[in-house]
């Protein structure tokens, strides 16, 4: 790789964009237990240094774990050798709101199920989310990748926010799935 002017300008643009949006951690690659542990530790230490309240740290931590586990289990871009999902993870804070952004590839077939699940979660009340969670715990079945379908429900319950998402066509059989989760410190303190 050459450090030509075009590449350097691109790096500076990315740096400026990330800084302007309060993004503190960005990672592109494989997602497994050690990566999850590393990012949650880094984010927790950063929030401690900034004297964030413990309940907020716990919420951000829990949401990070859920989103990172979803990436590891449900990405359709898998490494051949270890069967580990790949994707992009970002966390930042701006104007009192933490946000976690993930993106990974999913097949066109999974897109419909995923979108339906998100719409169901986004349309549910606090009480309905609690019931959905209880029902999934008692009656849910495990997917072929080991998930019980609790991640999206748990994220919505912990954040008290709608899940913001987008699907972008990648190729004929794959979509690029983006998920943005917001954790508003003021809202959670109420």
CATH number of the domain bearing residue 158: 3.30.565.10
What pLDDT digit, counting tens, does each position of 11-23 carry? 999 999 999 999 9
pLDDT band at 182 (very low <50, low <70, confident <90, very high): very high
Rounded to whole angstroms, what are the CA distances from 170 to 85, 105, 157?
A: 17, 8, 31
What pLDDT digit, counting tens, does each position of 150-173 carry? 889 999 999 989 999 999 999 999
Rounded to whole angstroms, what are the CA distances from 16 to 92, 109, 180?
A: 14, 37, 20
When divided into structural domains, the chain yields a total of 1
φ and ψ at 93, to 5 degrees?
-140, 130
Give this prediction's pTM. Answer: 0.84
What pLDDT digit, counting tens, does each position of 43-102 carry? 889 888 988 888 888 889 889 988 888 777 767 776 666 666 788 999 999 998 999 999
| Structural domain range at position 173 | 5-189
Between 32 and 9, residue with greater pLDDT: 9
């Amino acid at each position: 790789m050459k450090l030509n002017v075009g590449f350097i300008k691109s790096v500076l643009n990315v740096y400026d964009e990330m800084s302007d949006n309060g993004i503190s951690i960005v990672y592109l690659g494989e997602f497994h237990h050690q990566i999850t542990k590393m990012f949650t530790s880094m984010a927790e230490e950063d929030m401690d240094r900034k004297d964030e309240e413990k309940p907020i740290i716990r919420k951000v931590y829990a949401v990070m774990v859920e989103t990172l586990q979803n990436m590891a289990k449900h990405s359709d871009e898998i490494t051949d050798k270890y069967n580990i999902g790949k994707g992009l993870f970002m966390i930042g804070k701006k104007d009192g709101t933490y946000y976690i952004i993930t993106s990974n590839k999913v097949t066109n077939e999974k897109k419909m199920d995923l979108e339906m699940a998100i719409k169901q979660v986004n349309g549910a009340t606090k009480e309905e989310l609690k019931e959905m969670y209880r029902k999934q715990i008692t009656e849910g079945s495990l997917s072929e990748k080991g998930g019980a379908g609790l991640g999206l429900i748990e994220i919505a319950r912990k954040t008290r926010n709608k899940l913001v998402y987008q699907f972008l066509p990648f190729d004929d059989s794959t979509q690029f799935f983006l998920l943005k989760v917001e954790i508003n410190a003021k809202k959670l303190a109420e």
